[in-house]
Structure 1
Amino acid sequence: MDTANLHFNNTIKNWDEAVPLGNGQLGCLIWDSSDKLRFTLDRSDLWDCSNPPENQKNFSYADIINSVKKKKKGNLYKKYDACYFRPTPTKLPAGKIILDLGVRENVESDLSFQRAEAVLKIGDITVKSFIHANESYGLIYVSKENIGIEIKNPKFGGKRKSPFESLFTGTVQSLKNIHYPAAKFSTENENGIKYQYFIQKTNDRYYGIVAGIKEYDGETLIAYTVAMDRNKDFISGAKKILEGALNKGYENALKEHLIWWNDYWRKSKISIPDKFIEKQWNFNNYLLASCSRKGNYPMPLQGLWTADNDSLPPWKGDYHHDLNTQMSYTSYLKANHTDEGECFIDYLLDLSEEASKFARTFYNADGLCLPSVMDIEGHALGGWCQYSLSPTNQLWLCCIMARHFYFTRDINLLKERIYPYMVQTGKFLFSILKKENGKYKLPLSTSPEIHDNTLKAFLTPNSNYDLSLMRAFCKDMTNLSSELGYDAESELWANRLNDFDELAVNNDNVLMLCSDESPYESHRHHSHCMSIYPLRTMKYDNQRNKEIIDATVKNLEKFGMNGWVGYSLGWMAQFYIIKGDGDKAFEMINTFYRYYCTDNGFHSNGDYRGITGTPQKCRLFTLEGNFLATDAVQEMLLYSEDDGIEVFPAIPDNWNDACFDGFLAYGGVQIGAKLENREITQIKLYATADTSVKFKKNDKYRYAFDLPETVQLKKGETITFSK
């Protein structure tokens, strides 16, 4: 099996099975038949942020508390839930370029992950395409001239609203629910280039797809971009970009493009016996680089591949901070793609002013806090208020920032940006907490997404979800203050940690939802298990923790998968990995990739083919499941936390050989390792900062060398242990 290539023998008929391209700013899906070959385009900052629900009168935490106290479910639904059904704010699709190649033949498609280039064969016609890694354009080469080229804008509604609009609400809405003036299309010829474009006015800006076309020697070259501005004056700048691209030519531009991608793929790699899983790891790291680049916006729910089905994207393609963004950015660190992950952290830090405003206006609190469901500008979108407006999801974002430091050891980023941000988050948290019997309590507490959007979802404070996050935040603040030499602050946070309850555990040693309610059914969100993963604050390293983790996992198994969606499997795989059960972890990962993804590898949430027998058969593309499973593959190969490093901690028993290289580990060390015929024959370390490495010996395998307990490395130093 070619593990670095996506191949389709036949014409791709669905947008969510298309060949994906991207560079962090622009995205493209290539699909459909030879007479209407679609290049569905996207741009990361193409949003309509008008009419945010947070502008409603008395849209506030105090109002939610009062409504819960008085059991005013109607007010909660009308003000905080139903407002999410408004068509805006939302991520917008950009439109598409459609090619008529003048034939009606099968389209055979290939995507090279290494080259980030698509190659299509249609009879004797070749189509090649890539989006330049460093520039704001894509190129399409066709080995034929005189082809049909059409640019189409999305089918938004006109100025007049449909009387049936109210029928089109929910997870997915019709594009016609958004009402814009008709787009204006133009065709122009300048300097031997034919330009086609449209200008679409939205509620808060203008945008358009601009394409430049040159024909020569029986071939066609198309350069395109998605441009936008607060006014219409973006066409001339877009033309200049496209003229430069066309004059440079496809092959010369491709050489530039490949420099970036070659450097990216040098960062890390794996080789494992199951080549299907290896291919998925490669593909998902390709997706990461395609939709998340430093200097651009982070990936929302669908990354840079917004649906092309005459609808708004599922859940409006927003930023969900109650699992989705956090799980989407869970794999980048170990894969050593820190710039791609830092894109998300930079974005959060840059929203500090908006987060401070939201803490003040919504919570009436000091410090800063972002809404848990928000648009690209940080405005609250509403939705189930139990989770979309939960204060503790902000702590999960901070835990990601802390983990970024633990792995990268970027002390300047910590001191100048991350730590001040977390201090302000702490100020926010302790503005809303009250002490009861000497322990801190939240006014309201929930556990995503237990009891959905009912009043029962408000659990007895504090839920294990909230408690896990608050305890983890205090622990991180204790550690980070100490890293910076702020001893008094470190002591303060250690004392605050002691003023929270321990996690609630029932008589069967199962982690509870809260102090008076245990898990009661199969559920997609393992939120009561946050301390096991992703926070990793409950380690599998002592008898009591093992009892709790074993019982909690067994309880999840008892309830089964009926309530799960795709990401639930990747999450469950992480629990098995922590227990050292590689076989069961592999089963979860394999099931996810084979049955909860479309043919191109996109996470579909449900088993829409109906193979596993679970009732969740939805087909709604979101990315968090992809990256959670990708991280699980890495966790099978390398354990790396503050208590040490262990290679091959949880691979399947029948994997006698495996290797990885370039993984980034806790403490700023890059590591590679080889397993050959069930013998660990090499461990290679490279220090990106002065660091100390503590090894945890894996008793499942032989070692071809003496493994020390600890190793001290200076920045830039390499140490290799081998035969």
Structure 2
Amino acid sequence: MELKFYSPAKAWTEALPIGNGRLGAMVFGRVEDEILQLNEDTLWSGQPTSWECPDAKAHLETLRHLIKKGRYQEADKYSKHLMGPYTESFMPFGELRLRFEHGNLYQSYTRRLDLDKGMSQVNYRIGNVDYTREIWASYPDQVIVLHLKASEKGCLSFHATLDSLLRHKTKQKEKSFVVQGQAPLYSAPNHQPIGNPIRYDDPKASQALQFAGALTAKTVDGTLHVDQDGLHVIEATEAVLFFSAATNFQSFNCPPKASDKRPVLLACHHLKIALGTPYQVLRERHLSDYQSLYHRVTLHLGESAGGEELATNERLQHYGASDPKLIELLFQYGRYLMIASSRQGTQPAHLQGLWNKETRPPWSSNYTLNINTPMNYWLTESCHLEECHAPFLDFIGHLAENGKRTAEIYGVKGWMVHHCTDIWCQTAPSGGYGDGDAVWAIWPVGSAWLSQHLWEHYAFSKNESFLREKAYPIMRAAAEFCLDWLIEGEDGYLVTAPATSPENLFIAEEGPAAISQATTMDMSVIWDLFTNCIEAAQILKVDEAMVAQLQKAKSRLHPMRIGKYGQLQEWFQDFEEADPQHRHMAHMFAVLPGRQITKDETPEFYEAAKSTLNRRGDEGTGWSLAWKIGLWARLGDGNRAFKLLSKLLMLVTENKEAFHKGGLYPNLFDAHPPFQIDGNFGVTAGIAELLLQSHEGFLRLLPALPEAWPSGNVKGLRAREGFEVTIKWDNHQLVQAEILSHAGEICRVYSQCPLRVETNGKVLQTNRDSKGRVVFQTEKGERYFLT
């Protein structure tokens, strides 16, 4: 399975991404002048700092008074008192450029991203010589590797250099060419271009992140030398280049050290090991590591509609969602991008995953928590990449540490975080000290949403040690915050105030406003957190008093309501939306990623959720389309989800961008536009939801199969309660399912048809519960076949 092109990339959104979670590159595949645009995941602007408003508690009381009086626009303006600085920005590392001496009159050109191998490949011919490049990022060896080869002896000559848009210097260090530099010390005010008044090598720059990258090579023949101008290979037949990079980032709460030599030492350390290792050994280590993750899941949705020999962008333009193989490619591409941008020990994937070329990236290329970053990680558990979830779970723990201080300043217990954050784990409202907008900056319940990821990791794995030692303490502290944050409304219900429904506005008497109380999203997120905490405490047999407190508070939460259009009401009153087709689906949290609204348990709200989606319409940004695909899957309408999938699988080029019109760039990056990776990750998760669901406490096999996929199979999807599931279907009917039990839990499967369950060649006695679900006890490590 591969992305394929017959010409070099002209734009960044045509280049092909590689990564090992820490090091990333966009490979352009140019012939005479190749470019790899480079990133390192800890290279950010800024430093740890204090971002809270010291008078937040007093301002909160005033803000609540305005809300209580219904002075919503005034509340919006007053909320600016709570805003801290904008977040810091993810920085581009620079470029690796290779200038070849063979000219540019090429033929027989192809470039590929081989998803099976996790490698970028470039092939072309000049004269009678065939040139090949194989480029990949090794997680085991922490280097980017370029294998270059000519078919004729002595025909490979090139010069390689490193450059950066950040302040830097270059030098020769033994057999390596090294770039050293410094990230900007301060965030850019008002999102303007960044300036830095201090030199990278000034000892006074004690708080600025320093970075280094090193490049070296080995050849089979020819000559190789390194000088202050770069790395030079002359008249070789084959060469291998190694690049590594590092910064002096220590942790989210530790300032970088002045004049730190570790970036150079660490980068050169990785190169030294790689240089002393045979190429084939490095290659096999990469393949073994990468394929151990990637090969866990396979998906077949039908035969190709044609055009498999076309370039990927042409195939996208001509066939789109009508080609099942293109949908399979998009599904697996999301899994590939997750492996490439989020590995154990790295930073979590941000708005652009691991890749960014701008010193002022869109939305700072940061972590936006009211949908985008959580959506990044929906696929990790269901699509069998649970190890890739680890950086985000660790990051949540870091936010919980900083969020305790933010909560204390508000005068409440536990921990809290708002909408935007960065590598330094900012937890106060990010808004340029009042330059921001309440509709996105004021969102105090981030800790409740993020805690769901900890619970989900447990629910899929049933790892009780993880629940006890890591998940539950963070979840419990988030619940403590919510208990303290909730106040009693006039009707006796517990409400949040201030509350927003990101990022939509309602029409109040005085005009559009963002801030009110008890938004449906707030109440749904807190319901989810309280439910998960209660279950966790009961599993761990702890905190009986806390459980009782949570149960009582949960019963008093402001309830969901159905509005005048039959829709799930977005705000505590049935306000008109400023934008009825808004891209955000915040009040649909209870459907996805939550579990509060289901067909069996809440049928009236289930139907209201459909009305909401119909009212929202089928347009949207890339990530919004991905969310709607997942929502329609949860609501059992595969055909509607497929319609949205068809909208996502549309070609977007750099010269025809229109904000809020989703689609895919030629390299299949999701177009917000501009590029945001959450749509790639979200659509992979959404496709999985069409085929398997387990959020209701039982398995639904093929719960929302589109008519466009009459026959197919999927192998290796994961379900809650520790099950791994393989499904085969034909003529829209289940043929067989295989369930591997990793935890020995009771398995419940919903089926309208009789199911025969076998294991080890024996037919099991099964029961049906009161709702018609087939129920059977499993043993850890055993496989069960359902026909």
Q: Which category describes the TM-score, using the shorter chain as reference length?
A: 0.7 to 0.9
Measure, in 2, the Cα distance between the counterparts of 1:509 and 1:92: 46
Q: Deviations over 1:566-622 (max 9, x none)?
A: 1111222223222322111111123213346989xx9996447999xxxx9963111
Q: Deviations over 1:188-214 (max 9, x none)?
A: xxxxxxxxxxx9979522102211133
Provide the residue aligned with 1:290 in structure 2. 340
CA separation of 1:597 and 1:352: change in aligned 2, threshold 3 A: farther
CA separation of 1:538 and 1:551: change in aligned 2, threshold 3 A: closer
Provide the residue aligned with 1:509 in structure 2. 566
Provide the residue aligned with 2:414 in structure 1. 367
Matches for 1:120-519 after TM superposition, within 5 Å:
120-123=122-125, 124-143=130-149, 145-155=156-166, 169-170=190-191, 173-174=192-193, 176-178=194-196, 181=199, 204-217=208-221, 218=236, 219-229=238-248, 230=257, 231-234=259-262, 235-273=264-302, 274-306=324-356, 308=357, 310-361=358-409, 363-380=410-427, 381-382=430-431, 383-436=436-489, 437-451=491-505, 456-486=512-542, 487-518=544-575
Measure, in 2, the Cα distance between the counterparts of 1:50 and 1:593: 40
Q: Deviations over 1:290-324 (max 9, x none)?
A: 11112221111111111x2x542211111111111
SS of corresponding position for 1:146? strand
CA separation of 1:320 and 1:252: change in aligned 2, threshold 3 A: same
Taking every aligned residue pair, what percent have the same amino acid on both sides? 20
Measure, in 1, the Cα distance between the counterparts of 2:204 and 2:632: 50
Q: Give the residue type in structure 2 aligned to 1:553.
A: K
Matches for 1:78-157 after TM superposition, within 5 Å:
80=83, 83-84=85-86, 89-102=88-101, 103-105=103-105, 108-123=110-125, 124-143=130-149, 145-155=156-166
SS of corresponding position for 1:16? helix
Provide the residue aligned with 1:63 in structure 2. 59
Q: CA deviation at 1:249?
A: 3.6
Q: Deviations over 1:237-280 (max 9, x none)?
A: 42232122123243221011111122112322221121111111
CA separation of 1:560 and 1:488: change in aligned 2, threshold 3 A: same
Q: Give the residue type in structure 1 aligned to 2:104.
A: R
Matches for 1:555-566 after TM superposition, within 5 Å:
555-561=612-618, 564-566=620-622
CA separation of 1:202 and 1:630: change in aligned 2, threshold 3 A: farther
Measure, in 1, the Cα distance between the counterparts of 2:571 and 2:297: 40
Q: Deviations over 1:399-453 (max 9, x none)?
A: 2211221111111010111111111111111222222343212221110001299
Measure, in 2, the Cα distance between the counterparts of 1:488 and 1:76: 35
Q: How many residues align?
A: 679
Q: Give the residue type in structure 1 aligned to 2:554.
A: L
Measure, in 2, the Cα distance between the counterparts of 1:242 and 1:139: 10
Provide the residue aligned with 2:600 in structure 1. 541
Measure, in 2, the Cα distance between the counterparts of 1:691 and 1:702: 19
Which 10-residue stretch deviates more, 33-42 or 524-533? Answer: 33-42
Which 10-residue stretch deviates more, 238-247 or 14-23? Answer: 238-247
Q: CA deviation at 1:65?
A: 5.5
Q: Give the residue type in structure 2 aligned to 1:279.
A: L
Provide the residue aligned with 1:649 in structure 2. 703
Note if contact 2:98-2:159 (Cα within 8 Å) is conserved in structure 1: yes
Measure, in 2, the Cα distance between the counterparts of 1:357 and 1:104: 59
Q: Which of 575, 591, 594 is the aligned partner of 1:532?
A: 591
Which 10-residue stretch deviates more, 564-573 or 616-625? Answer: 616-625
CA separation of 1:540 and 1:156: change in aligned 2, threshold 3 A: farther
SS of corresponding position for 1:641? coil
Note if contact 1:372-1:394 (Cα within 8 Å) is conserved in structure 2: no
Gaps of 5+ in 1: 160-164, 185-198
CA separation of 1:104 and 1:720: change in aligned 2, threshold 3 A: same
Measure, in 1, the Cα distance between the counterparts of 2:745 and 2:755: 26
Note if contact 1:646-1:698 (Cα within 8 Å) is conserved in structure 2: no
Note if contact 2:76-2:515 (Cα within 8 Å) is conserved in structure 1: no
Provide the residue aligned with 1:719 in structure 2. 784
Provide the residue aligned with 2:305 in structure 1. none
Q: CA deviation at 1:387?
A: 3.5
Q: Which of 622, 641, 654 is the aligned partner of 2:676?
A: 622
Q: CA deviation at 1:546?
A: 3.8
Measure, in 2, the Cα distance between the counterparts of 1:134 and 1:603: 41
Q: TM-score, structure 2 length as denominator? A: 0.79
Q: CA deviation at 1:20?
A: 0.6
Which 10-residue stretch deviates more, 137-146 or 552-561? Answer: 552-561
Provide the residue aligned with 1:587 in structure 2. 643
Q: Give the residue type in structure 1 aligned to 2:422.
A: D
Q: Give the residue type in structure 2 aligned to 1:141.
A: H
Measure, in 2, the Cα distance between the counterparts of 1:78 and 1:425: 24
Provide the residue aligned with 2:694 in structure 1. 640
Q: Give the residue type in structure 2 aligned to 1:118.
A: S
Q: CA deviation at 1:397?
A: 0.5
Note if contact 2:5-2:110 (Cα within 8 Å) is conserved in structure 1: yes
Q: Give the residue type in structure 2 aligned to 1:104.
A: N
Note if contact 1:10-1:109 (Cα within 8 Å) is conserved in structure 2: yes
CA separation of 1:524 and 1:536: change in aligned 2, threshold 3 A: same
SS of corresponding position for 1:649? coil
Measure, in 1, the Cα distance between the counterparts of 2:611 and 2:605: 10
Which 10-residue stretch deviates more, 470-479 or 261-270? Answer: 261-270
Q: CA deviation at 1:551?
A: 4.0
Gaps of 5+ in 2: 150-154, 170-180, 182-186, 222-235, 249-256, 303-323, 768-773
Measure, in 1, the Cα distance between the counterparts of 2:216 and 2:385: 34
Measure, in 2, the Cα distance between the counterparts of 1:462 and 1:249: 61
Which 10-residue stretch deviates more, 123-132 or 239-248? Answer: 239-248
Q: Deviations over 1:51-98 (max 9, x none)?
A: 85x5375463643653683827666558738x43xxx62111111101
Q: Give the residue type in structure 2 aligned to 1:114.
A: D
Measure, in 2, the Cα distance between the counterparts of 1:481 and 1:223: 49
Q: Give the residue type in structure 2 aligned to 1:304.
A: L
Provide the residue aligned with 1:192 in structure 2. none
Note if contact 1:145-1:215 (Cα within 8 Å) is conserved in structure 2: no
SS of corresponding position for 1:37? strand
Measure, in 2, the Cα distance between the counterparts of 1:603 and 1:443: 35
Which 10-residue stretch deviates more, 216-225 or 314-323? Answer: 216-225
Q: Which of 13, 16, 20 is the aligned partner of 2:13?
A: 16
Q: CA deviation at 1:365?
A: 1.8
Q: CA deviation at 1:547?
A: 4.2
Measure, in 2, the Cα distance between the counterparts of 1:633 and 1:94: 34
CA separation of 1:641 and 1:240: change in aligned 2, threshold 3 A: closer
Measure, in 2, the Cα distance between the counterparts of 1:21 and 1:603: 27
Q: TM-score, structure 1 length as denominator? A: 0.86
Q: Which of 34, 39, 42 is the aligned partner of 2:39?
A: 42
Q: Deviations over 1:541-576 (max 9, x none)?
A: 25xx444333443343345345x2111112222232
Q: Give the residue type in structure 1 aligned to 2:208.
A: D
Note if contact 1:566-1:592 (Cα within 8 Å) is conserved in structure 2: yes
Note if contact 1:200-1:208 (Cα within 8 Å) is conserved in structure 2: no
Provide the residue aligned with 1:573 in structure 2. 629
Q: CA deviation at 1:538?
A: 0.4
